[in-house]
A and B are shown apart, each in its own frame.
Chain A
Amino acid sequence: MKPNRTLNIILTTYVILIFVFIFSPIIFSMIFSFNSQRFPTIPLGHFSTEWYQKILADPDVWDAARNSLIVSSCTAVIATLLGFCTAYSDYRYNFRFKGPYLALILLPPTIPLIIMALAMLAWFSKIGMSGQIYSIVIAHSVLTAPFAMAVIRLRLSQMDPDLEAAAWNLGGSEWATMRHVIIPFCKPAIFSGLFLTAAVSFDEFAVSWFVSGLNKTLPVLILEIVQGNIDPQVNAIGTFVFLISMTLVVLAQIFFASRQMKSF
């Protein structure tokens, strides 16, 4: 196609604007986290790490960070395991009601979070499991498993359909084949799934807020601080959360890309 100069300029500007809209609040939040003044106003005061020192000294922040870390890492492992099992069952077997089975698995992210959160709360209270750290883990695993399943399923679809049978043919039992062929083949997707689900869980606010009880995660803590007063600590915590999620997403993408390049 012939490159159109005007169209090119318009599209480039459009993309730049989108990035500005998305990232400027975050960048401002980062800038204000190093600002000495209490209120986010311009002109800025001087450079300061006061707010960082404050949050590091705050046991509530440490608790929330610990909770977030536990929740997101447990969620990542459980959700990726669930995602792998469903993706493999879809790849390997044909059965009646496979369509509804897959739809059911992919359902959670399509439900409005607030409804999902309320439903989770109601259900956990009913069976006496609400307000625990593992309640958040369970809720997040349900919510994020479809993401892991999607990446692993994509990887399995790139696999030579004879590969598994070739391993049986060479004397591998079903379990040995799973261990020595299926899992190594899916490894990049499994890592991608781990980081992706960890990132989603680490950021998730609504469900955590409803089911967490006294076990606040970082996003829940941020909301509580903001509700009380204007505190630049929020900017410091926000920067920290943003950097962690970004790292996880980037790692997920790196594994995703390495897998694309080495696809056969």
Chain B
Amino acid sequence: MNNALVTFDNVQKNFGKFVAVKELSFEIYEGEFLAIMGPSGCGKTTTLRMLAGLEAPSSGKIHLKSQVMNDVPPHERDTPLVWQSLALFPFLSTRENVEFGLKMRGVDKAERKERALKWLDKVGILDFADREISTLSGGQKQRVALARSLVMEPQILLLDEPLSALDANLVIRMQAVLTNLQRELGITFVYVTHSQSEAFAMADRVIIMSEGEIAQIGKPKDIYREPANQFVAEFVGRNNILSGTVTSLEKSTALISTSSGEFKVPTNSVQLTKGQNTSFVISADLVHISLEKPAGINVVFCKLISEEFVGSMVTLFLEDAEGQEFKVQMQERELSKFDLSGGTEIWLSWDAKSAHVIREY
């Protein structure tokens, strides 16, 4: 593992004066599931389209292994894409859709049929092989689109927000289908999405993009617990972000004074100086609540503003006397031990190890 399959080397893409992708450099490893995530307009889809040859980089180079791909036309690349719009051919049957790529590659009729049926079986829609595309449901169409790309048996599969049109239940099911396929086939998946839950649920590594640049690249857990900057911390969500001034420094911890009080934060590898302004985050699920004032430091007194239920998880929205907003995420069954209502005053606390200094401010 960790052999680079694709390398982006200072790739830039301009549309007129607009810079869609800015001096992008990263590697895609063989056999990994890489998610590229960001808000709309961050350049994630443009990056994917450049990989498929549908957009030409304005400058920089894209390598596939040792070959420079910049001038290879899309139809000579082996980079099938699963489209957000699916882009199935409406005038062809399910099987003919799956056979399309093989037909373009000049595979003979009998083999085309055999391979198409094999892949329709693999994605679980063999029974619909001779149906018209228009008669299929959203989830079935999704599987056809997947089979149509996978039948090419590529080294790398590109996916552009393929699940965005499906309802929540189906999304979870399709996520399982995708991760299983990826593990089983060992193909590199590059998955573009604006959905954090999709990216974090499936990917080995996640790239977070903002305004055409990489904001952070890393394992989902690292990005979640240790966002590199304010943008990632906010984008990933359910994070408490506090800003303040460094008042004293010890070996591996700093004391940071904020409007909500003074907090002890591990510095990790971040270079801090006394008197410097900085920010730190605490994931909402690492904050504890209690009705009595807990002993120790890293304690805030808050008023409950509102609650949000998502299945078994609850997010509490709170505010301290200074108007600083806090979020706490916990199991519903744990919360039911407390008798809370809007306006209830509670104490928040967290382990000093849970906090994480944001590198840039």
Q: Which A positions have Cβ atoms within 8 angstroms of B?
A: 160-163, 165-174, 176, 180-181, 184-185, 187, 262, 264
Number of B interface residues at 8 Å Cβ cutoff, please give it. 28
How many residue pairs bridge A and B at CB < 8 Å?
A: 69
Q: In whole Å, how far is B316's beta carbon from the nearest beta carbon of chain A? A: 43
The A-contacting residues of B in range 146-172, CB under 8 angstroms, are: 148-149, 152
Q: A166-B83, A167-B89, A180-B100 are in contact. List 20 more A-B contacts (CB 8 A).
A: A161-B85, A162-B87, A163-B89, A168-B54, A169-B54, A169-B75, A169-B80, A170-B75, A170-B148, A171-B75, A171-B105, A171-B152, A172-B75, A174-B75, A176-B75, A176-B104, A187-B91, A262-B134, A264-B90, A264-B134
Q: How far is the CA of A171 from the CA of B100 in the complex (A)?
A: 9
Q: How far is the CA of A180 from the CA of B100 in the complex (A)?
A: 9
> Does B103 make an interface contact (CB < 8 A)?
yes
Given A165-B74, A264-B134, CB of A170 within 8 Å of CB of B91: no
Q: How far is the CA of A168 from the CA of B105 in the complex (A)?
A: 11
CB closest chain-B residue, reference A161: B85
A170 B100 Cβ-Cβ under 8 A:
yes
A171 B104 Cβ-Cβ under 8 A:
yes
> Does B52 make an interface contact (CB < 8 A)?
yes
Q: How far is the CA of A80 from the CA of B75 in the complex (A)?
A: 29
Q: How far is the CA of A169 from the CA of B51 in the complex (A)?
A: 11
Given A162-B85, A181-B89, CB of A167 within 8 Å of CB of B79: no
Q: Which residues of A contact B74 (CB under 8 A)?
A: 165, 168-169
CB closest chain-B residue, reference A170: B101
Q: How far is the CA of A95 from the CA of B74 in the complex (A)?
A: 22
> Closest 4 CB pairs between A and B?
A170-B101, A166-B87, A171-B104, A162-B87
> Does B20 make an interface contact (CB < 8 A)?
no
A-B contact pairs, 28 of them (CB 8 A): A160-B87, A162-B83, A162-B84, A162-B87, A163-B89, A165-B74, A165-B87, A166-B81, A166-B83, A167-B89, A167-B104, A168-B53, A168-B74, A169-B52, A169-B75, A169-B79, A169-B80, A170-B100, A171-B76, A171-B101, A172-B100, A172-B104, A173-B75, A180-B103, A184-B89, A184-B91, A184-B92, A264-B134
Q: Which residues of A contact B134 (CB under 8 A)?
A: 262, 264
A185 B90 Cβ-Cβ under 8 A:
yes
Q: How far is the CA of A35 from the CA of B84 in the complex (A)?
A: 66
Among A160, A167, A187, contact of B100 (Cβ-Cβ < 8 Å): A167
Q: In whole Å, how far is B80's beta carbon from the nearest beta carbon of chain A? A: 6
Q: Which residues of B contact A173 (CB under 8 A)?
A: 75, 104
Q: How far is the CA of A168 from the CA of B83 in the complex (A)?
A: 13
The A-contacting residues of B in range 80-136, CB under 8 angstroms, are: 80-81, 83-85, 87, 89-92, 100-101, 103-105, 133-134
Q: How far is the CA of A184 from the CA of B101 in the complex (A)?
A: 16
Q: In whole Å, how far is A243's beta carbon from the nearest beta carbon of chain B? A: 32
Counting chain A CB atoms within 10 Å of each CB, the highest count among B84, B101, B133, B149 belongs to B101
Q: Which residues of B contact A262 (CB under 8 A)?
A: 90, 134
Q: In whole Å, how far is B69's beta carbon from the nearest beta carbon of chain A? A: 14
Q: How far is the CA of A169 from the CA of B89 in the complex (A)?
A: 13
Q: How far is the CA of A218 from the CA of B104 in the complex (A)?
A: 47
CB closest chain-B residue, reference A188: B91
Q: How far is the CA of A78 from the CA of B41 in the complex (A)?
A: 44
Q: How far is the CA of A167 from the CA of B100 in the complex (A)?
A: 8
Q: In whole Å, how far is A147's beta carbon from the nearest beta carbon of chain B? A: 23
Counting chain A CB atoms within 10 Å of each CB, the highest count among B81, B90, B152 belongs to B90
Q: Which residues of A contact B103 (CB under 8 A)?
A: 180
The A-contacting residues of B in range 22-73, CB under 8 angstroms, are: 52-54, 73
